[in-house]
Amino acid sequence: EPEVTQTPSHQVTQMGQEVILRCVPISNHLYFYWYRQILGQKVEFLVSFYNNEISEKSEIFDDQFSVERPDGSNFTLKIRSTKLEDSAMYFCASSGIPYGYTFGSGTRLTVV
């Protein structure tokens, strides 16, 4: 079964540093997403991406966040200057139509 692949599985970074989380969506999918889950809390929507532009973003997705599809296969989430409260599990997802998501295994980001 096709998978969404995320790297790294765990990243530790110092507060104020930039991080890039990487995802390889399912190859024939057209819609891409980032979600996050702070430990013990709900999974929250961050951003959706279609046709090389952001379709929708949440209030969490402020100027510190950006997304990019640099080469037609990877989909990245960049956090410019990490804060302690950015510590969370970040999930990438993709879908062939705006339904039926497949999620990746997540990247656990720890900001120290």
Partner 1 sequence: GIQVEQSPPDLILQEGANSTLRCNFSDSVNNLQWFHQNPWGQLINLFYIPSGTKQNGRLSATTVATERYSLLYISSSQTTDSGVYFCAVGVDYKLSFGAGTTVTVRA
Residues within the interface to partner 1 (CB under 8 A): 31, 33, 35, 37, 42-45, 48, 50, 55-56, 58, 89, 91, 98-103, 105-106, 108
The DSSP-derived string for 45-77 is EEEEEETTEEEEE-TT--TTEEEE--SSS-EEE
Select 56 or 68, whichever has its Cβ closest to partner 1: 56
CB of 64 to partner 1, least distance (A): 20
Select 13 or 58, whichever has its Cβ closest to partner 1: 58
| Residue 6: closest CA among 75, 68, 86, 69 | 75
Select 44 or 69, whichever has its Cβ closest to partner 1: 44
